[in-house]
Amino acid sequence: MIYMTYAFALAGLISGTVFAGCGQETKKTQMLASDNYYTMDIDTDTATFGTGCFWCTEAIFQELKGVLKVTSGYSGGKVANPTYEQVTEKKTGHAEVVQIVFDPAVISFDELLEVFWQVHDPTTLNRQGADVGPQYRSAIFYHNAEQKQKAEHYMQELDKSGAFTSAIVTEISPYKNFYDAENYHQNFYSNNPNYGYCSYVIKPKLDKFRKVFEDKLRRKDAAQ
């Protein structure tokens, strides 16, 4: 888990780069407000990221303003409807990921990428900290040509800037599939805050994330 001084450089890259608006789709989306769900028609976009254990990734992206729904699951592999046990056996090709439905009028894909690059180490191949295996690889599964362009652009600029001491090894691949993880994986941190992994791994990551991205938090009380 790293938060580096390159945050300012990355913010500059994002604010200084002009891209055409992403393609959006209109759908009925479950939207979170005051901890209650309700449905409404809204223009949304989707991002699919892997930053290691999806319990951590989910807990972070759920707190961002403009993020409407975060689902933990599996992507990037060849086995249909994999189980958690199959994925952990490292034979399915899937990564643990989150699928993020967001309102691009509130938070852009660029801003989601800013969070993505800063809340994990994209230079370690098939591992994040003590979590080791291809299912924990750093990955961006892009949904359209523009997401691909942006992901590759920022990765190249970060590498050129020397923000990391090692080369970025993030996989940038076309989105092909996503399978929801089992129900007990969904909202894992919220439902199990006292679980050992949550207390010793996720909470410290969230505390750092909240300090760096305070202005992007969905709720004023999110950092409490």
| 199 contacts 192 by C-beta, under 8 angstroms | no
**What residues have CB less than 8 Å from 23, skipping those under 6 apart?**
45, 144, 146
Residue with token string 């807990």: 59
Q: Indicate the length of the chain as a whole number.
A: 224
Is 53 a catalytic site residue?
yes
What burial class does residue 35 get, using C-beta atoms within 10 Å of its C-beta: 0-12 exposed, 13-18 middle, 19+ buried? exposed
Set 22, 53, 56, 198: catalytic member: 53
Residue with token string 């996989």: 171
Residue with token string 């207390």: 199
**Packing angle, helices 109-118 and 54-61, rounded to 10:** 130
Q: Which residues are paired to 56 by β-bridges?
A: none
Instruction: Report the catalytic residues.
Output: 53
